[in-house]
Amino acid sequence: MSDSLHIVCPHCAAVNRIPSARLGEGPKCGKCHRPLFAGHPIELDAAGFEKHVGRNDIPVLVDFWAPWCGPCKMMAPHFMQAAAQLEPQVRLVKVDTEAEQSLGARFGIRSIPTLALFRGGRELARQAGAMGAADIVRWARSQL
Ligand code: ZN
């Protein structure tokens, strides 16, 4: 791990540079001064996805979901709990594949929910099907 990490602000999308030793000390955004980690997933549109997946130095775990999908709704509170456990080592984000169909198509998402883990803009792993919080955390950590 390098001495500093680029972290994209979930509020204003500014790219912050944080010493890696201080990642767990509740870092705040240099631009909007809000916490860089709030313990819950961020909803992203296509532009936000590019920024977070492309610019974050920490891995980004994406939940591809849709409002009409029952299992997705069941998994939502588990994904929220997983965020509280995986931050600040991993950034958790959600992509509504109904609203952002181009992203779903680009990544060939055929069933939802699908979790996909990215690092440095590259997909490391994906897993389809709803999971509980403990399984999400375990799966994400096992891929890193
Ligand atoms: Zn900010």
97, 65 contact by CB (below 8 A): yes
- Which residues line ion ligand 1, judged by CB < 5 Å? 9, 11-12, 14, 29, 31-32
Nearest-angstrom CA–CA distance, 62 and 44? 9
CATH architecture of 39-143: 3-Layer(aba) Sandwich (3.40)
Predicted TM-score (pTM) of the model is 0.96
3-state secondary structure 52-93: HHHHCCCCEEEEEECCCCHHHHHHHHHHHHHHHHHCCCCEEE
> Domain coordinates of the chain in residue numbers?
39-143
pLDDT of residue 23: 95
β pairing state of 60-65 and 91-96: parallel
Q: What is the pLDDT of residue 2?
A: 61
Centre of ligand 1 to C-alpha 84, Å, is 19
- Annotated catalytic sites, by residue? 69, 72
Q: Which residues of the chain have pLDDT under 70?
A: 1-2
CB 60 within 8 Å of CB 117: yes
Tell me how far the alpha carbon of residue 4 lies from the centroid of ligand 1, in angstroms.
18
Q: If 0-12 CB within 10 Å is exposed, 13-18 middle and 19+ buried, where does residue 77 land?
A: exposed
